[in-house]
Structure 1
C-alpha cells in the first residue's frame, strides 16, 4: 500500500489523483475492516448437544445412556 501512496503523491494535481486518493482511502478502510487480527481471538460458543441431535449419529445406541 505504501508503494501506491508514494506513486499517487508523485502524480500531478487533478481528477486522476483525486480518484486515486479516494481509492486508497477505500482500500485502507476495507483492509482494516476485514483484518481478523483487529479483534481479539475467541473460541466459538458451542451449544451442548441435545439427545435428539445425537440420535442420527449413534446408530443403535441410546443417547440417554446404557440400558440394562
Structure 2
C-alpha cells in the first residue's frame, strides 16, 4: 500500500490524483474492516441441541424415543 501512496503523491494535481487518493482511502478502510485480527478472536456461540435437530439423520425413527 505504501508503494501506491508514493506513486500517487508523485502525480500531478488533478482529477486522476484525486480519484487515486479516494481509491487508496477506500482500500485502506476495506482492509481494516476485513482484517480478522482487528478484533480479538472468540469462539462461536453454539446453540443448545434440540431433539428436532436430529430428525434429518434418523430416517423413520423418532428423536423423542422408541
Aligned residues: 66
Give yes or no for the alignment of 1:45 onto 2:50: no
Of the two, which has the highest radius of gyration?
1
When normalised by structure 2's length, the TM-score is 0.79
Closer, same or farther: CA 46–8 of 1 in aligned 2, 3 Å: same
Once residues 20 and 56 of structure 2 are traced to their aligned partners in structure 1, the CA distance between those partners, rounded to angstroms, is 56
Give unpaired runs (5+ residues) of structure 1.
none
Moved over 4 A (4+): 58-65
User: What's the CA shift for 1:31?
Assistant: 0.8
State the alpha-carbon separation in 2 of the partners of residues 32 and 26 from structure 1.
10
How big is the alpha-carbon RMSD for the aligned residues of Structure 1 and Structure 2? 1.9
More deviation in 27-36 or 55-64? 55-64
Tell me the alpha carbon deviations over residues 20-64 of structure 1, each in whole angstroms, 9 at most, x when there is no partner. Answer: 111100110111111111011111111121122224434687756
> Structure 2 regions of 5+ residues with no counterpart?
none
